[in-house]
Amino acid sequence: MTKGTTRNLSAVIAGGIFLLALPLFLKSPYFLHMLIMTMLAIIYAVTLRPLVITGQLSLAHAAFVGIGAYASALLVTRLGISFWLALPMSGLIAALIAVIIGFPALRAKGLFFAIVTFGFTEVARYTYMGVTSLFGGPAGFRGITPPVLAGIQFGGNKVAYYYLMAFLLTITLLAWYSLEKSRFMLTVRAIGKAENLAEAVGVNLTKYKMVTFVFAAFFTGIAGSFYAHYNLYIAPINFSVWQSIAFLTLVVVGGKERFIGPIVGAIFLTFIPEFLHGTGYFQAMLYGGLMVLTVLFMPNGLIGIPGQIAALTSRLRKVRKAGWPFSKPAS
């Protein structure tokens, strides 16, 4: 246990140094953009995973990104609040809305919860489209200003954005990894395995689901705020149900059983298709196809592959030992 923790810690430190040093060598704005988008995807996937574990298939994740993005855009451009204040405030606003919709929505389970959150995401999207005076309508919200920090202009400065994103990602991962090894996540996993038993030993299911939902919305809202002030333009189409489904794909394809799973899924599905010069259509096909393949052949996702290979080779070895094909294979 301690050995594993030390190893994990050194891996994290090595990874952190690598990520911090990366812009010193790679100055390609395109490459930095890809890294930033990947880190955003990691935030979405890591925060969504605990909900998937409890069996609550949330399609509201993109809505919370949108709430964070629009809230931040409004706070900065209309009220003149500093981006650095709007960033955490967007998270809080997303979390507050998660509390409000969580109370009715979390009573529903599985497919019903998916339908309720689907509805919520659509309502949010149509609100941005309908209330043109506030949200800019279908044409989107223009004129979002880039952040400035101690004289550093973020506009056109991908390296500055990169470091800000790396910072936000680090905070997010630290928070969720801290929970990962706690009794909280153990209980969350238990709810996913046997909800009735968890309830029978005194677990307040709604409370646990609510905390997971709201905590995820907080970090997602912050990511949304970053996105708005990075892209400098947001539109309702960016926060649709399809986006939510893409986030679920990151978790399922990566593998929900371990913390690293959604991270692997996010890297694999954001970074790699881009290098294959994927157009939108190709990417959608890849997501769909991978989702199907994963569900059919890799129940534990990409991170489950080594285990599956190990199981397969040990079975082959047993079969060979038993003298296959001439005698009955050992099972």
Q: Footprint of other proteins on this chain (CB under 8 A)?
A: 175, 178-179, 182-184, 186-187, 189-190, 193-194, 196-205, 211
Q: Which residue, 183 or 277, is less far from other proteins as judged by CB?
A: 183
Shortest CB 83 distance to other proteins, Å:
26
Shortest CB 255 distance to other proteins, Å:
14
Q: What's the rounded Cα separation, in Å, for the pair 42 and 64?
A: 15
Query: Is the separation of the CB atoms in 250 and 269 below 8 Å?
Result: yes
Place of tokens 């999207």: 125
Whether omega for the bond prior to residue 50 falls within 30 degrees of 0, making it cis, is no
Shortest CB 176 distance to other proteins, Å:
9
Cα–Cα distances (Å) from 174 to 22, 64, 133, 147, in that order, read 20, 21, 39, 24
Q: Which residue, 21 or 295, is less far from other proteins as judged by CB?
A: 295
Q: Which residue, 199 or 295, is less far from other proteins as judged by CB?
A: 199
Place of tokens 């605990």: 50
Shortest CB 215 distance to other proteins, Å:
8
Q: Which residue, 114 or 191, is less far from other proteins as judged by CB?
A: 191
List phi, psi (to 5°) of 152: -85, 120
Q: What's the rounded Cα separation, in Å, for the pair 138 and 236?
A: 6
Q: Which residue, 127 or 170, is less far from other proteins as judged by CB?
A: 170
Q: Which residue, 34 or 211, is less far from other proteins as judged by CB?
A: 211
3-state secondary structure of 309: helix
Residue 137 tokens read as: 């309508």
Shortest CB 199 distance to other proteins, Å:
4
Shortest CB 172 distance to other proteins, Å:
12
CA 193, 118, 268, 218: dihedral to nearest 10 degrees?
-80
Phi-psi region of 142 (alpha: psi -120 to 50; beta: other; left: phi over 0): beta
Helical ranges in 78-144 per DSSP H: 83-105, 110-130, 132-135
Shortest CB 196 distance to other proteins, Å:
6
Q: Which residue, 84 or 199, is less far from other proteins as judged by CB?
A: 199
- The DSSP secondary structure of 227-243, one letter per residue, reads HHHHHS-B-GGGGSHHH
